[in-house]
Structure 1
Amino acid sequence: MASSHRPPHPARRGLRPLARGAAVLAASLALLSSLVGVAPAAPQSADDADADVRVNAQAALGTLTSEARGVNTAIWDAHMNDPEVAGLMKSADVGVMRYPGGSYADIYHWETHTAPGGYVAPGTGFDAFMGTVRATGAQPVLIANYGSGTPEEAAGWVRYANITKKYGAKYWEIGNEIYGNGHYGSGWEHDDHEDKSPQEYARQVRAYAAAMKAVDPTVRIGAVLTTPGEWPDGVVGEGDSGDWNQTVLPAVADVVDFVSVHWYAGGADTTAEDAMTRLTRLPGELREVRRQIDRAAGADSPDIEIALTEINTNTGGARLTARPNGLFAADAFMTALENGVFTVDWWNTHNGAGQITTVDGETDYGDMGMLSSGACTGDVCEPAPNTPFPPYYGMKMTAGLGTAGDTMVAAESSAQDVSAHAVLRRDGRLSVMLVNKDPDTARTVDLDCAGFTPSTTAPEVSRYARGDSDVTDVTDGEASASRVTVPPYALLTVTLEPKAGTGPGASAAAAPGTPRLEAVTDTTARLSWEGATGATRYLVQERDGTHTRLVGETTGTAVTLRNLPPGSTHTVNVLAADSSGRASGPSAPLTFSTGTPSDAACAVTYHRDTSWGNGFVATVTVRNLSGTPITGWTVDWDWAAAGQSLSSGWNASFEQTGSHVRVTASDGAGPLAADGGSTASFGFVGANDGPNPDPAAFRLNGAVCSGG
């Protein structure tokens, strides 16, 4: 969703067309459930629990960065630099503040502090903004004006910021949502370039990067991408050879340091409950961004980061300042961070009142901000400026879960309306945050953990629930079973101490470096990593959800994994063991995919002919490269993402079971000649609710084929 540059007071976001379409945790939680939200100390039978949460402290999802939590700031926000803002943001461990405000970036001229056609509030200049950034202890993300600016103007801003003022501004995006410049039929983003194609954007990104890095080679340049599965992903503009990402990424992969994507949960008809459910799409969409970077950048892919620089529910102006959006914020921040982004930036710090409704017995002001702007809709006014709304407390709860240098680890819940996130702290403690999305019912959760043995010390518990005016520390001191009850519509974080002599802190070995993919074939992968102090051997494990299995062991810092299925995806991390066999904490994860055999007896070409965001038409061409003709054939593949399906097809018979597709030659179809002498071709209409990656491998009569 684009950040509006309509003259605001208050400013709100503009609308775009919606095409989006082992060990049991023996620690204890004995607190008063009515006031505290944790199960009472009295014994309960296993049947009383209605959700199970499993945590694997050895299955790393990544390391939290100092930039993990961020917010957007806008030059039309008169409260942007109020003294209270820095204190509030610091309390929530905010590490990034993005400026000058979404789509305003493409009309903003930093030197004159003007935005022709838009409203600029007093006291919102760059130096004033940097005062708030520094008081917060954060890092700016600055959006260079692409729409009405030049590479020279952007380079001047870098010079002023980092040479003259020595601000050390590290992250610079080139434009905001440039794909919204009208090239695909909808235009909310200002763009003065005569050529509005992705090819021209890529050319300009290269020019901006060259000019800006000539001033300060240390700056990190970000290019704007569409989010896979969200409009206009998959749409090919007139005269283009591919969609936005397919065009931009290969052309800029050697000059950019990160990519910027945005994610909003829905539009005017999306309820808050829908938004929380829709969040399940985000991991697949972010994985597809990484796959696209892998394809474009090859071995340099790990050097290109992903920033989620705008996120919110955008539920049509309702339920934005009420409790559901606070739950969404906590869930969304952690979901995104667990799936490969280094910063998640909420839209917005202050925004403005919109549609007034009542949600969960409270007034919802239809405001996409974290803090009140004090604005009114009719005779209904928000509370005093800078009063936090629930999304702020949702973000603050994640700060209590983990901070920079802590390791996010795998956690999963058996209940659809209970989310779980877990962090292994640098001091060896384990924190687990539970999100109860049920507005009516408390959920009793049994906790199970692998790779962590808790002490008998009473856990620390923090909570944000009905009646809480802030994140509340809950203390009781009694021990109980490994169970916790989360109040309705609430966030609860439990932090447990490790049993003495256990956990990563007991190992003399430090955690190894993140593994890198050195080489990959259709059935093998060679990985290497930086060694760890105190290590005598290394364990390579593959993760499937919260379960891990050992796939490699070595005394060196490299290993070759063998007998991998062609076209398969794997996520691995490395642990170091000391001389006593005690394991360190896990490295950050690596996800990679095997290819298909180059000397296969068949070849398949898969081509998306057209796409419209949530649907597509594809053509598949099959060649028999063996020395024997094939009469009667089947082609099989598996979809790479949930939400992909086949609707109808031609020139063959089609069957889909789960994610598996089988295509059978039509009756009377001629043989496939030997040595590639003939081809078989069929097409189909497909649908995708979310990202739409190409299948990784095809099989002809059971044999894996090469691509192309």
Structure 2
Amino acid sequence: MPLRRPRTSSPDPIAPGPRAARRARHTLAAAAALLAAGVLGPAGAQAAALPAAAPAAVPAAAPAAVPAAAADGAVTVTVNARAGLAAVPDTGMGANHAIWDAGLGGDAAADLLKDAGVKMLRYPGGSYSDIYHWKTHTAPGGYVAPDTDFDTFMSRVRRTGAQPMIIANYGTGSPQEAAEWVKYANVTKGYGAKYWEIGNELYGNGHYGANWEADDHADKTPAGYAREVVAFADAMKAVDPTIKIGAVLTTPANWPDGIIAAGDSATWNQTVLSIAGPKIDFGIVHWYPSGADTAATLRTPAVLGDTMYELRRQITRYAGANADRIGIAMTEINSDRGRNTQPGAIFAADAYSTLLAEGVFNVDWWDVHNGPDKITTEAGQTDYNDFGLLSSGGCVGDVCEPPYNTPFPVYHAIAMTSDFARPGDRFVRAGSDDALVTAHAVRRGDGDVAVMLLNKDPDSERTVTIDYAGITPAAGAPTVRTLTNGATSVTTAQAGTATTQTLPPYSVTTLLVHTTDGRVVGAPLPPGPPVATEVTDRTATLSWLAPPGTMGGVKFEIQRQNGTTSEQWGETTGTSFTVRNLRPGTRYTVNVLARDTAGRISGPSAPLTFTTGAPAESTCAVKFAPASDWASGYVLNVTVTNNGTKAIGDWTLDFSWPTPYQQISGGWSATWTQQGRDVKIVGTAPLAAGGGSASAGTVVNYNGPNILPQAFTLNGTVCSLTP
């Protein structure tokens, strides 16, 4: 059995598996010698012995549309309380526990996690999950610390006030072993463990060239994994049909997303969802972004909205009927810069808020304790490159971490985020005109609004003016909580106003804003979640449920989100509305609000996002065919066909990328140019009437989710799409 590292992430695109495996073996041997000599305790041994895998590549640059930093430090933030996003789940704030962490941190760690609002704890720990046998509490080839068995873990879960996220051993286990674990947990012990993952990062089993995940199955393809997920789900739900089963998926734009391995007919996600989709309840993804420097890493959460959109698109497309029931859990996440200093805190607050606003039901930091690796300095503070929320008390040379269980800044950021976005709150749209200031906001059930402001400038403060839509702030200073660079705790004060705040350099700030009209007594409740049907290139029919207690005379407003602005598309007294004059190939997000005869208006419904397509018929057709994807680029072939009655001489095909992450490189059989997101293909080969066609190609590089365009125009005419 190969030795395993405690933390895992997707590997470098150029198969680093053997190199990483050698490094793990060497350090394990060194740690074993130190343990024998009594130099290292268990926590320190694991930190030294089990280094992290290389993180997957994700965008290092911010989207092109992000505004420049304000030269004078003055910033405008807009909060639109009528532009609703996802509601905050009661399982959102999570962290990973692992069986190499002696006693799982004990009661002190459990109490700290409870104070931070952690509501989900994952076990038994990354790649160890695929070598761990719960009955014998063993992990052949790995280290198991004292007092880390399942019952001890559950005692920590209960003390924390959380739920467990349990990883069944896929790699070296069996459906029967997993079913017996469910029986022990929920029938014998009555733990009520609801969420169960089937394995961890199984795409790292060697099938794609990198091999860090244990997998004893003869069939290591995504189809083989998917068929076994079905067997696991059937066996486990036969014991307890109320549990939720999660399957391993790849994060869009992270290796090996997009790759079709030898012998496969489709990507990992398409294959797993197509076979196991009807049997699973959620998809599992991990994210370890990298950046060229700290500033670049702090920009990476901006990609998460498009990443989750693309993942949901894949689930909807491939998972079969009722695919919208399948949730998404980000069960491992960490930063690659400033993990134990203020950059890690800013990254965590930004990433958790962004993911929860996008409807992810669980986000788990990797991990509670891990250990130091190398010593660096970030913004004048010592960073230990420790993945943990809490210090392990380990040392690198003569530099030692603070005492065991001392919270790192990221712990405080997660505590602030759980206080800022409470279960039942609804995220609402917020934005900033400064690239170095990020804003998030939630609307509470009583109408109040909480705002999070992140200053990513390590050197300069920002004076922020906050504009509100849909609410009127009450007079008086709001409650402001702040985590600053180098601080060991969060400060709380009544400071500034609801519309003006000063942000210290490198800070996380939240404020609670009371309102005079945010939840008017007697106002209607929000309508039910809207759905879209009959979506074409130009129209869509939206429908929703009227809120409980609604009497006659109530009107419903349909509002589109355009950045932080809401555009009213129309209103109706019914519960459906057909929108017309839409743009082909365009993504739209809308909310529905209820207004009664007294003019009192509800909060926003849950959001609906839909994308218009191409016309079903046209005088031209386009086939857009990516091939040979290597997870950061692909060869693109485009074929344009003239279905009209007149021949076309010179022609120009135009399209726009849906996101700023794609860039063409060169081209053949036509002249290719790109400006911003807009691509122009100019061809000289004539297109004969009645089916004449021409093809051209290019290489496309991408550093974010590769969302494909859905609308093309040939000499100004919108074309249909050819499969």
Question: Above 0.5 in TM-score?
Answer: yes
Alignment partners' CA distance in 1, 2:383 and 2:435? 25
Aligned residue in 2 for 1:599 = 617
Aligned residue in 2 for 1:40 = none
Q: Describe the SS at the equivalent of 1:236.
A: coil
Structure 2 residue 422 is matched with structure 1 residue 403: yes
Alignment partners' CA distance in 2, 1:547 and 1:297? 34
Q: Deviations over 1:609-639 (max 9, x none)?
A: 1111221101112222234333332222111
1:301 maps to a residue whose letter is A
Structure 2 residue 715 is matched with structure 1 residue 701: yes
Q: How does 1:240-319 map to 2 (within 5 A)?
A: 240-266=264-290, 270-297=292-319, 300-315=322-337, 319=338
Aligned residue in 1 for 2:607 = 589
Aligned residue in 2 for 1:142 = 166
Paired residues of 2:75 and 2:462 also in contact (CA < 8 A): yes
1:15 maps to a residue whose letter is A
1:365/1:19 Cα in 2 relative to 1: closer, same or farther (>3 Å)? closer
Q: How does 1:44-443 map to 2 (within 5 A)?
A: 50-266=74-290, 270-297=292-319, 300-315=322-337, 319-443=338-462
Structure 2 residue 503 is matched with structure 1 residue 486: yes
Alignment partners' CA distance in 1, 2:664 and 2:714? 18
Aligned residue in 1 for 2:38 = none
Pick one of 531, 537, 544 that aligns with 1:516. 531
Q: Deviations over 1:6-39 (max 9, x none)?
A: 5552264532475547xxxxxxxxxxxxxxxxxx
Q: Describe the SS at the equivalent of 2:76.
A: strand
Q: Deviations over 1:40-66 (max 9, x none)?
A: xxxxxx997611111101111110001
Aligned residue in 2 for 1:35 = none
How far residue 380 of structure 1 moved from its aligned partner, in angstroms, is 2.3
Aligned residue in 2 for 1:33 = none
1:17/1:69 Cα in 2 relative to 1: closer, same or farther (>3 Å)? closer
1:13/1:215 Cα in 2 relative to 1: closer, same or farther (>3 Å)? farther
How far residue 393 of structure 1 moved from its aligned partner, in angstroms, is 0.5
Paired residues of 2:660 and 2:676 also in contact (CA < 8 A): no
Structure 2 residue 8 is matched with structure 1 residue 2: yes
1:660 maps to a residue whose letter is D
Q: Which moved more, 1:557-566 or 1:219-228?
A: 557-566
1:382/1:490 Cα in 2 relative to 1: closer, same or farther (>3 Å)? same
Structure 2 unpaired stretches of 5+: 1-6, 10-19, 29-44, 60-69
Aligned residue in 1 for 2:512 = 495
Alignment partners' CA distance in 2, 1:527 and 1:195? 44
Paired residues of 1:81 and 1:129 also in contact (CA < 8 A): no
Alignment partners' CA distance in 2, 1:121 and 1:231? 32
Aligned residue in 1 for 2:639 = 621
1:117 maps to a residue whose letter is G
How far residue 134 of structure 1 moved from its aligned partner, in angstroms, is 1.4
Alignment partners' CA distance in 1, 2:369 and 2:621? 55
How far residue 98 of structure 1 moved from its aligned partner, in angstroms, is 0.9
Alignment partners' CA distance in 1, 2:497 and 2:571? 38
Aligned residue in 2 for 1:43 = none
Alignment partners' CA distance in 1, 2:180 and 2:575? 44
Q: Describe the SS at the equivalent of 1:295.
A: helix
1:364/1:698 Cα in 2 relative to 1: closer, same or farther (>3 Å)? same
Paired residues of 1:272 and 1:325 also in contact (CA < 8 A): no
Q: How does 1:464-613 map to 2 (within 5 A)?
A: 464-466=483-485, 468-475=487-494, 482-499=499-516, 502-535=517-550, 536-613=554-631
Q: Which moved more, 1:653-662 or 1:289-298?
A: 289-298
Aligned residue in 1 for 2:53 = 15
Paired residues of 2:87 and 2:359 also in contact (CA < 8 A): no
Alignment partners' CA distance in 2, 1:372 and 1:503? 42
Q: Structure 1 length normalisation: TM-score?
A: 0.91
Structure 2 residue 478 is matched with structure 1 residue 459: yes
Q: Describe the SS at the equivalent of 1:310.
A: strand
Pick one of 661, 670, 675 that aligns with 2:686. 670
Alignment partners' CA distance in 2, 1:189 and 1:219? 25
Alignment partners' CA distance in 2, 1:672 and 1:423? 56
Paired residues of 1:53 and 1:412 also in contact (CA < 8 A): yes
How far residue 104 of structure 1 moved from its aligned partner, in angstroms, is 0.8
Aligned residue in 2 for 1:31 = none
Q: Describe the SS at the equivalent of 2:560.
A: strand
Q: Describe the SS at the equivalent of 2:322.
A: helix
Paired residues of 1:19 and 1:613 also in contact (CA < 8 A): no
Q: Deviations over 1:106-145 (max 9, x none)?
A: 1111111111111111111111111111121211111111
How far residue 299 of structure 1 moved from its aligned partner, in angstroms, is 6.0
1:357/1:48 Cα in 2 relative to 1: closer, same or farther (>3 Å)? closer
Q: Structure 2 length normalisation: TM-score?
A: 0.89
Alignment partners' CA distance in 2, 1:168 and 1:653? 61
Aligned residue in 2 for 1:680 = 694
Q: Deviations over 1:207-232 (max 9, x none)?
A: 22222222222211111111111112
1:527 maps to a residue whose letter is L
> How many residue pairs end up in the alignment?
671
Alignment partners' CA distance in 2, 1:556 and 1:428? 26
Paired residues of 1:49 and 1:446 also in contact (CA < 8 A): no
Q: Deviations over 1:246-295 (max 9, x none)?
A: 3222222222211111111217xx43322102222222222211121222
Aligned residue in 2 for 1:27 = none
Alignment partners' CA distance in 2, 1:96 and 1:494? 25
Aligned residue in 2 for 1:448 = 467
Q: Describe the SS at the equivalent of 1:523.
A: coil
Alignment partners' CA distance in 1, 2:126 and 2:84? 33
Alignment partners' CA distance in 2, 1:303 and 1:527? 19
Alignment partners' CA distance in 2, 1:142 and 1:630? 61
Alignment partners' CA distance in 1, 2:185 and 2:544? 36
Q: Which moved more, 1:78-87 or 1:175-184?
A: 78-87
1:180 maps to a residue whose letter is G
How far residue 92 of structure 1 moved from its aligned partner, in angstroms, is 1.4
1:313 maps to a residue whose letter is S
1:375 maps to a residue whose letter is G
1:629 maps to a residue whose letter is A
Alignment partners' CA distance in 2, 1:250 and 1:600? 31
Alignment partners' CA distance in 2, 1:137 and 1:260? 23
1:252 maps to a residue whose letter is A
Q: Describe the SS at the equivalent of 2:46.
A: coil
Aligned residue in 2 for 1:642 = 660
Alignment partners' CA distance in 2, 1:51 and 1:127? 51
Q: How does 1:17-32 map to 2 (within 5 A)?
A: 18-20=56-58
Alignment partners' CA distance in 2, 1:534 and 1:583? 14
Alignment partners' CA distance in 2, 1:508 and 1:349? 44
Alignment partners' CA distance in 2, 1:68 and 1:518? 30
CA RMSD of aligned residues (A): 2.1
1:706/1:205 Cα in 2 relative to 1: closer, same or farther (>3 Å)? farther
1:66 maps to a residue whose letter is D
